[in-house]
Structure 1
Amino acid sequence: MNLIIDIGNTCVKLVCFNEGKVVEEQRTDKDDAVALQSFCSRYPFSRGICSSVSDISEEYSAALSSLPFSMMEFKSGTTRVPIINKYNTPLTLGSDRLAAVVGANWLQPGRDVLVIDIGTCVTFDFINSIGEYLGGNISPGPTMRLKALNHFTARLPFVERRGDTPDFGTDTTTAIRSGVMNGIKYEIEGYIHSFLAKYPQLFVYLTGGVHLNLQFSENLSIFADDFIVPKGLNRILEYNNEHK
């Protein structure tokens, strides 16, 4: 069994994999070493991999070091991956973004795939049918946009992203929420239409903590997968174990 640890900007995802399949996922606070140890006590892990897009506390690092099996630290531009990374600055590439396209390529080999991750940020990452990661874009996520409207104006309030989202707001709260959430929706739809024009057999993965109701008239292969990053990390772990 493999332990996958995906440390994001807001939480830590602990995922148990057995023979390439997800057994269990648990989300914890970023510094919850007790939860990590409890999760690991439930399964006979033989190896693991850790990816982080934020700083790791000394306490959590110590907990990782004390685990009774080998843990690989995944670093973009340093750790070997089973795809061709054509990013100009691979050392600065977010490990979650790289893991996502590895997972997409593993699940959909020989396909042009766009991975859209809607979380703290909205990221768009593309890997072509011959396994070349060509790069991607980063945009502010919904909460970041909502906070920015409050912070950079004198009178606009901070609005939670969950709630009534009409086509046109009828008060300040719904105007802000609809403007942000519908704006992200149209942004994503625009990206997909643009990529479809270049890659007619495009496959799209949606992941992240925010779910949107997207509208398309085309016969489009679009699939939601909350585990695309952990699946990519598991593939990277197995790949490096195979090529020791």
Structure 2
Amino acid sequence: MNIVVDYGNSSAKVGIFDHHTLTDKRVFREEEALKDFLQNFPADHFIISSVNTDAHTVGSWTTAKKKFILHYTLPLPVKNLYATPQTLGVDRIAGVCGAQQIFPATNCLVIDAGTCITYDFVDAQGNYHGGSISPGLKMRFDAMHTFTARLPLVHAVADAALIGNSTETCMQSGAIFGLIEEIEGIIRRYSEKFDGLKVILCGGDTGFFENKLKASIFASPELVLSGLNSILLHNVSR
């Protein structure tokens, strides 16, 4: 069994894999609960991606025979052509590795809808090129409130009106439909440039957007976990 850990800012997502198959997923918000789980789960292999927690400390909690920390120097199942790999978010590279696992030998655009919206492209030859980053949905609402004198702090709603008839509904229309048009536009540009493009949507806002986009997409909320497992298997087999 493989254990993969995606340690974010507020919680740790843990995936348990039997080779390529995700058999279970846990979310831990308390470090002690994660430590207890890892110390008592008999894993063969382990990998962690962490944005702000000491990955070496978390790795010391597991008895797995082989342990890996996702870092820009770790060998990947894709060729990383990013100009500054040391600055690349580990969740972004895990996402494209997950996409290649689902759609091998295919041009793939990964859209991670979270705090920021990240767009990442891996080509059919397994070359990761990079992409783009823009503000996510919550960040857009926060920015309108923070950087203006009178706009309130509002939140996304599933049934936002295209034509707002109050300040609150106008802000909801602008943020939500503006972001939908952005995503649709990026997908269109990539589709015009790359044949047979597959678009994979992941991240915390996947559920909000997956039925609002006209483009054909493949929703994969656990793409980062699958990508981490793909990286783990790649290194175990070396």
TM more than 0.5: yes
TM-score where L is the length of structure 1: 0.89
How far has the Cα of 1:61 moved from its partner?
A: 5.7
Matches within 5 A, 1:172-191: 172-191=167-186
Write the distance in 2 (CA, Å) between the matches of 1:224 and 1:80: 27
**Displacement after TM superposition at 1:95 (Å):** 0.7
SS at match of 1:80: coil
Q: Give the 3-state SS of the residue equivalent to 1:130 in structure 2.
A: coil
For the aligned residues, what is the CA RMSD?
A: 1.7
Secondary structure of the structure 2 residue equivalent to 1:103: helix
Aligned-partner SS, 2:48:
strand
Could you list the runs of 5+ residues in structure 1 that have no partner in the other structure? Answer: none
Kept in 1, the 8 Å contact 2:154–2:168? The answer is: yes
Distance in 1, matches of 2:18 and 2:48, equals 17
Inter-partner Cα distance in structure 1 for 2:71 and 2:77 = 14
Which amino acid is 1:45 matched to? A
- Is residue 38 of structure 2 the alignment partner of residue 40 of structure 1? yes
| Residue type at the aligned position of 2:9 | N
Counting aligned pairs with the same residue, the percent is 38
> 1:56 — aligned with what?
53
CA, structure 1 residues 165+238, in 2 after alignment: closer, same or farther (shift >3 Å)? same
Deviation at 1:35, TM superposition (A): 2.2
- The alignment covers a number of residue pairs equal to 233
1:13 touches 1:27 (CA, 8 Å); kept in 2?
Answer: yes
Larger mean CA deviation between 202-211 and 154-163 belongs to: 154-163
Where structure 2 has 5 or more consecutive residues not aligned to the other structure, the ranges are: none
Contact 1:204 1:223 in 2 (8 A): yes
The aligned runs of 1:117-196 (5 Å cut-off) are 117-162=112-157, 164-196=159-191
Poorly superposed stretches of 4+, deviation over 4 Å: none
Question: What is the alpha-carbon distance in structure 1 between the residues aligned to residue 157 and residue 180 of structure 2?
Answer: 14
Deviations 1:145-167 (A, max 9, x none): 11111110001111122454111
Provide the C-alpha distance between the structure 2 equivalents of 1:9 and 1:184, rounded to a whole number of angstroms.
24
Task: Name the aligned partner's letter for residue 46 of structure 1.
Answer: D
